[in-house]
């Protein structure tokens, strides 16, 4: 049965809105750990999610059996009617253009054209190149996923997309007085040609691990900190980007609620989230069929926009901007980031260093935690270096720093003119492929701690 006919039938039963998102996935996941294949899965699956809004109640039903879509739509409508009886909060969807489009993101080398042996050989080759005397363990990961989407909505959107993504992660471990770890990822939206980017990370991780094994203890206290592009990008995503997600804002769980037009960062700081640029978080339309667009969240220090799906846009009386993303057909779309960007400035990296009398140069993230409601964060850097008298000195390890997000953004006193991108997988009950893009940034004062 055609998707549009099912949607039309649901609307005839009194629904206020209905959409169907049909997906076909081809995936490969490979893990080579210490020379042994620890995990290797390959295959495809397909299914669909039916969403129904009845007055203020939502119903969501996913199925992998297309013959059951009609039944799934009836169940979704029944669920929406039941939820409406218990819903205290008003719900609606902001209007958006009913797009009709078909977009295929092409790749130079289709991953499906490469055999399993070739993909294993890729990881073995990288493994051989990262093996050093000081490396005690290697963990190489390869993943690819191509999804074909079809989205039909009751207000007229008809979207078809094909999006290929690929990533390679390199993780190596060594031991001196403690166990140390270095990790880097490469990839994006595209095909097997992206594996070439992984080879550029080999020297990065091996040099990092070598430095960490001989590194000292970092200072603690409120001191200046320079973040490299990788760490700055993660900071923008985790500490600020989540707080700018419309569902958290409209639900009162963000420190940014009611802050449009307010100064939330230092003058000259511009932070965007942009699904239209090439990156791991690229997509042409979101999972509601809304056309993707660049969201300038902070413009020259002032709060300018949020990341919005249609429901959060309705609640905030704003325009939706393509922020709805779902992990797959089993789950409903949530407000999610795409490629989160700190726009570059006009300083040279060396000029940032020369501004610091005593501080830390921190590189790459090794995890942390944030609280978007309270606007607090804590991050760990993979790698660190002392800065003394405007010069980078010896390596330090176990660097952590924490603070208040908006206070830290106000303390940005230098933004370099360089610009690098990285990839990540963001969790919010669901996993989303995301990119981070940023320059080096200098923060005049942040709370730094260590071992």
Percentage with pLDDT > 90 across the chain? 97
Task: Tell me: do 372 and 242 sit in the same domain.
Answer: yes
- According to the model, what pLDDT value does residue 178 have? 87
What six digits make up the tokens of 160?
Answer: 């078809």
Single out the residue in 147, 178, 213 at which a domain terminates.
213
Residues in the chain: 451
Task: Tell me: do 274 and 376 sit in the same domain.
Answer: yes
Tell me, yes or no, if the pTM score tops 0.85.
yes
Cα–Cα separations (whole angstroms), residue 51 to 15, 59, 84, 139: 10, 6, 14, 40
Cα–Cα separations (whole angstroms), residue 102 to 148, 162, 281, 359, 395: 11, 9, 19, 51, 51
Single out the residue in 161, 186, 213 at which a domain terminates.
213
Domain count, the chain: 2
**What mean pLDDT do residues 76-99 have?**
96
Task: Tell me: do 173 and 305 sit in the same domain.
Answer: no
**For residue 450, is pLDDT > 60?**
no
d(CA 12, CA 19): 14
| Average pLDDT of the chain, as a whole number | 96
The neighbour count for residue 89, using CB atoms within 10 Å, is: 8
- According to the model, what pLDDT value does residue 73 have? 97
**What mean pLDDT do residues 269-287 have?**
97
d(CA 18, CA 49): 11
d(CA 348, CA 352): 7
Mapping DSSP to helix (H, G, I), strand (E, B) and coil, where does residue 439 land?
Answer: coil
Render pLDDT for 164-183 as a digit per residue (tens, 0 to 9): 999 999 999 999 888 999 99
**For residue 149, is pLDDT > 70?**
yes
Q: For residue 1, what pLDDT band results from cuts at 50, 70 and 90? A: low
**For residue 40, is pLDDT > 90?**
yes
Task: Tell me: do 393 and 283 sit in the same domain.
Answer: yes
Beta bridge partners of 102: 160
What is the DSSP secondary-structure string of 181-195? EEEEEEEEES-GGGG
**For residue 134, is pLDDT > 60?**
yes
- Give the containing element (helix H, strand E) for 232: helix 229-235
Task: Tell me: do 295 and 355 sit in the same domain.
Answer: yes
Beta bridge partners of 298: 271, 303
**What mean pLDDT do residues 277-288 have?**
97
What six digits make up the tokens of 449?
Answer: 């701690």
The neighbour count for residue 116, using CB atoms within 10 Å, is: 12
Q: Which of 162, 173, 87 is nearest to 127 (CA)?
A: 173
CATH assignment at residue 108: 3.30.2290.10
Task: Tell me: do 272 and 374 sit in the same domain.
Answer: yes
**What mean pLDDT do residues 183-205 have?**
97
Task: Tell me: do 288 and 161 sit in the same domain.
Answer: no
Tokens 């701690």 map to which residue?
Answer: 449
**For residue 80, is pLDDT > 80?**
yes
Cα–Cα separations (whole angstroms), residue 439 to 45, 99, 157, 233, 270: 39, 35, 38, 8, 12
Residue 80 backbone phi and psi in degrees, to 5: -65, -40
Task: Tell me: do 243 and 267 sit in the same domain.
Answer: yes
Domain that holds residue 115: 3-213
**For residue 9, is pLDDT > 90?**
yes
Q: For residue 449, what pLDDT band results from cuts at 50, 70 and 90? A: confident
Contact indicator for 395, 214 with CB cutoff of 8 Å: yes
DSSP code for 218: P
What six digits make up the tokens of 260?
Answer: 């449009």
Q: Which of 41, 42, 2, 39 is nearest to 22 (CA)?
A: 2
- According to the model, what pLDDT value does residue 400 have? 96
What six digits make up the tokens of 287?
Answer: 């999972």
What six digits make up the tokens of 317?
Answer: 């009386």
Task: Tell me: do 106 and 165 sit in the same domain.
Answer: yes
Single out the residue in 163, 179, 213 at which a domain terminates.
213
Task: Tell me: do 341 and 297 sit in the same domain.
Answer: yes
Task: Tell me: do 370 and 411 sit in the same domain.
Answer: yes
HSE-CB at 154 with a 13 A cutoff on CA atoms is 21
Render pLDDT for 346-364 as a digit per residue (tens, 0 to 9): 999 999 999 999 999 999 9
Task: Tell me: do 204 and 279 sit in the same domain.
Answer: no
d(CA 317, CA 295): 16
């Amino acid at each position: 049965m055609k998707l549009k006919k099912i949607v039309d039938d649901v609307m005839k039963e009194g629904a206020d809105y209905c959409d169907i998102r049909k997906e076909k996935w081809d995936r490969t996941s490979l893990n080579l750990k210490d020379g042994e294949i620890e995990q290797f899965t390959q295959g495809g699956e397909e299914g669909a999610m039916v969403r129904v809004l009845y007055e203020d109640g939502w119903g969501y039903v996913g199925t992998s059996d297309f013959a059951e879509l009609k039944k799934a739509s009836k169940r979704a409508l029944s669920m929406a009617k039941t939820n409406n009886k218990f819903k205290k909060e008003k719900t609606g969807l902001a209007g958006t253009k009913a797009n009709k489009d078909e977009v295929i993101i092409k790749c130079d080398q289709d991953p499906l054209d490469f055999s399993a042996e070739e993909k294993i050989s890729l990881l073995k080759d990288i493994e051989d190149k990262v093996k050093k005397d000081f490396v005690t363990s290697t963990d190489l990961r390869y993943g690819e996923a191509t999804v074909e989407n079809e989205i039909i909505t009751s207000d007229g959107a008809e979207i078809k997309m094909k999006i290929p993504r690929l990533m390679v992660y390199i993780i190596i471990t060594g031991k001196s007085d403690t166990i140390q770890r270095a990790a880097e990822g490469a990839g994006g939206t595209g095909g097997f040609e992206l594996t070439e980017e992984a080879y550029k990370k080999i020297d990065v991780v091996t040099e990092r691990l070598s430095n960490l094994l001989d590194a000292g203890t970092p200072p603690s206290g409120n001191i200046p900190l320079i973040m490299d592009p990788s760490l700055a990008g993660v900071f923008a995503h985790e500490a600020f980007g989540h707080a700018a997600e419309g569902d958290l804002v409209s639900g009162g769980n963000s420190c940014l609620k009611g802050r449009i037009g307010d100064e939330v960062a230092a003058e000259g700081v511009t932070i965007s989230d942009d699904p239209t640029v090439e990156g791991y978080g690229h997509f042409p339309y979101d999972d509601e069929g809304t056309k993707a667009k660049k969201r300038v969240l902070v413009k020259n220090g002032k709060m300018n926009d949020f990341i919005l799906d249609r429901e959060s846009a309705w609640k905030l009386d704003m325009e939706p901007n393509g922020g709805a993303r779902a992990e797959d057909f089993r789950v409903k779309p949530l407000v999610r980031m795409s490629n989160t960007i700190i726009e570059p400035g006009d300083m040279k990296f060396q000029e940032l260093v020369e501004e610091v009398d005593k501080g830390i140069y921190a590189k790459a993230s090794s995890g942390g935690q944030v609280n978007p409601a309270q606007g607090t964060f804590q991050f760990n850097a993979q790698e660190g270096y002392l800065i003394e008298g405007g010069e980078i000195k010896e390596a330090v390890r176990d660097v952590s720093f924490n603070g208040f997000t908006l206070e830290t953004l106000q303390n940005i006193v230098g933004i370099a003119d360089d610009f690098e991108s990285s990839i990540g997988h963001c969790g919010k009950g669901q996993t989303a492929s995301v990119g981070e893009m940023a320059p080096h940034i200098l923060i005049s004062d942040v709370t730094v701690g260590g071992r």
